[in-house]
Structures are given as structure tokens and as C-alpha cells.
Structure 1
Amino acid sequence: MAFVEPVTLQARGVRLVPLGLEHEAGLKAAAADGELWKLRITSVPEPYETREYIETALQTTNRLAFAVTDADSGEVLGSTSYHDIVPALKRVEIGYTWYAARCQRTHVNTTCKLLMLTHAFETLGCHVVGWRTDNFNHASQRAIERLGARKDGVIRGHALRRDGTIRDTVMYSLRAGEWPEVKAQLLYLLDKPRH
């Protein structure tokens, strides 16, 4: 049995289901909301690349990709993944995360992180969960820091961007002992009245 098995996670009107080719049209529509592929610092596929994006995710052995969907309608809102899964260390990273523009700055990302972190720490027994992001993706860095993750450092000259430039990667992590306080904060944020 693999350390991370396909699973469906659901709460607060958001459902994470294992990504499949049946999500191609929905992913295209979600990415089109905001033309997200035009951002040079993200992994959002261009419309003609969506099928290849899904196939690559499915073929990557240390990745479990999810379609983020509306629990009631089934509409695809975006995608996220566990990746760089290291069973021997009981470590996963959360990434390849993006949402349709209309879902950004809503409860969707907080709910997804609550679901994925709860599963990682409370079901898989992870010792640590990590994140990585482009050094110029300041919105992503702020979102990761709002979760309570700690900045581990920057790996310089680490990866290629879609435009061929070389990026520095900012690394973050959250340890199992920090999870109870982070969980309480995520639940607080989700239950807080919106004005």
C-alpha cells in the first residue's frame, strides 16, 4: 500500500477529488476565469495544454493531484496537489495550487488547506508538510505565511519558469507539533463572519 492513496476530501461546500481526464473541460474553464496561464510565476496550463497537464500529473509517481470542485454542482474551481511525497520521512508538500479568479480570496483556499493538512497530519501521520513557491509570487508567500507555515529559506537558481527564466524558490514547512495551533487558526478564519 502506498503512503499517499487517492482520496476524496470534503468540507464547507468544497470537494477535492483525484484529478482525472474527466476534469479537462472544467480545468480549462477555471483557468480561463482570469486567464491565469498568463501569470509567469504559476503552473496554470494554457487551454491547449490542459490535457497534457492532467496526464503529467497522473504519471508523476510522487504526486497526488486533485480537482478542486464545488461540492454541490461539481463545477471545477481549480487544482491542488500533494507532491514531493517522501514516505520514509512521512513528508509531503502541498503545491501546484491555483483557483479560478472568482474563487481567490474566498474560503476555498483556506478550506482546501484545512482538508489537506488534516489528512496529512491526522490520517497519514506526517511529521512535516512543506510548500515551495516562486520568489516573485508574493501573494502565494503571504497565503502560505497566513497558514502559519515557517519560511525555511530560499533555494537560488532552483527551477525554470514557463518563460525560460530561472527562478529562486522560497521553501516553507509546518511540523506536526505546530499543527494543532494552525488548525485552530484555520477554523477560526473559516468561522469568522465576513463583512
Structure 2
Amino acid sequence: MPAPVILDGRIVRLEPLAPHHVPGLVAAAAALGSPAGFTIVPHGDQEARTYVFQAEAAQLAGTALAFAIITVADDCVVGATRFTRLDYWQGPLSWPLSAEPVTALPGGSIPDAVEIGNTWLTPAVRGGQVNLEAKLLLLSHAFDSWGVRRVSLRADARNQRSRAAIERLGAVSDGVRRAHSRGLDGAVRDTAFYSILHDEWPGVRLRILEQLAARALRRAPLIPATPASLRALACQLG
């Protein structure tokens, strides 16, 4: 399992999820109202503590690496996200296959492919720069630090907001798996799968930087929103 790491951005900071984040998670989740939804969100102190405990257990087991999403400007927890479904290919495959069992991976091993998921945000920061930069930080770490070959993302097929956000990143649709699993509401859900490959990452990175720049320009209308200014601002953000 890769070692926990803090990912620093201009707008958000991603910290490995820990017990001291519990009060912030409770406050961020309170604004979401009903517990029902498409993603597990901890409501109340006990649920938040259990949420963090399970995230830490998954990290120790090598199956996930969870983060609190924190705004840099006011040091406020606004949600959570994680790397999950870490895939270790252990190649190249040789023939004939060995009868020896596969040994456990050493500590610090890095995956060949990974999924980004279990992301939720308090409503006040949805649809803006927070999710975009959080995804940029995660994707940059996966592709540039770990050197993964694929990053996957998924969403309940009914969750049009999440699917649109994933598609805006530039992720490619891998299709919809019908009757894939049970949703949080108890219904049998279809799941939409997406992926970004290593060779596609430079284009996706530029696409995200341009979207961040465009949102920054909307907050500073005196700067002309020209293609040249977008590229310049994207370079500054990168």
C-alpha cells in the first residue's frame, strides 16, 4: 500500500483522513440534510467516527487511501474523497504459470491502476473549484508520482450530477453495467464506469487547468476572458 501523503493545492489540501477531522466532517455533512443519497456520508458524531475508523482500517489493509478535503483559505473540512480498488498487476505474466503462491506486497508498493471515488462535498462548494482541484491533485499523484496506467471513476447511473462532473474532466466512458449492485436507497442500481489512461493524462490535466482558470476568471471579471489569458492562468495554477 502506498504511504499516506498530504496533497497541497492552491484552493484545497487533501489530508489522510484521521480522528481529528471528525468535527469538520460532521459540520460539512450537516448541510446535506437527509442521509439518503448516492454516496456514503457520515451524519453525526458517531457515524463520522465510524467512517474514519473504517477508512483507517482500509488504509492499513491496503485497499484504500482516504482524504479529508480542506479549503486552504479557512482551513475548513468540506468533504472527503479517496483512492480505492488499488490494482497490482505483478507482471509480466510468464508461462507456464508458477505453482508458488503470490506473496504479499511489501509496504510502500505502488499500484498499477486505481479508482478515485467515495467523494462527497458540502453543498456550498459544489460545482466550483474545490472538486476540480481535488481531482487534479489526486490524478497528478496517481499518474505523476505513482505512474499508474489507469485511473477509474464510477457513479450510480442515476446520479447525473456526478456523471456530468466526471465527463467534464475528460474521462472516457467504459459503459454502464446493468444491475451492478444495491444502491444506498435499497434499489438495484446500474453503474456508469469511466477511465483515464496514462497517455490521456496530459490532455485531461490541461482540460482541468483550463476549467480552473475559467472559474477563477469568473471571480475576477476585470481580467479579459481570452484564450491567451486562460492559458496564462492555467500555467500559473499548474
CA contact (8 A) 2:36 2:185 kept: no
Match of 2:93 in 1: none
Match of 2:138 in 1: 116
Percent sequence identity over aligned pairs: 40
CA contact (8 A) 2:151 2:196 kept: yes
Query: Superposition pairs for residues 149-188 of structure 1, below 5 Å?
Result: 149-188=171-210
Between Structure 1 and Structure 2, how many residues are aligned?
Answer: 192
Larger mean Cα displacement after TM superposition, 163-172 or 18-27: 163-172
Cα RMSD, aligned residues only: 1.5
Question: As a proportion of its length, which structure holds more strand?
Answer: 1
Match of 2:78 in 1: 77
Deviation string 1:16-35 (CA, Å, 9 cap, x unpaired) is 00001111111011011232
Distance 1:72 1:87 in 2: 37
Distance 1:108 1:118, change over 3 A: same
SS in 2 for 1:5: coil
SS in 2 for 1:67: strand
Distance 2:55 2:159 in 1: 22
Larger mean Cα displacement after TM superposition, 64-73 or 116-125: 64-73
SS in 2 for 1:27: helix
CA contact (8 A) 1:81 1:97 kept: yes
CA contact (8 A) 2:11 2:129 kept: no
Distance 2:24 2:130 in 1: 16
Distance 1:93 1:36 in 2: 27
Letter paired with 1:65: A
The alpha-carbon deviation at position 37 of structure 1 amounts to 2.4
Match of 1:94 in 2: 116
Uncovered stretches (5+) of structure 1, i.e. residues with no partner: none
Deviation string 1:124-149 (CA, Å, 9 cap, x unpaired) is 00100001110111100000000000
Query: Do residues 194 (structure 1) and 191 (structure 2) align?
Result: no
CA contact (8 A) 1:7 1:18 kept: yes
Distance 1:80 1:91, change over 3 A: same
Match of 2:106 in 1: none
Deviation string 1:26-82 (CA, Å, 9 cap, x unpaired) is 10110112326232x222122242211121122123100000002243210100000
SS in 1 for 2:203: helix
Match of 1:103 in 2: 125
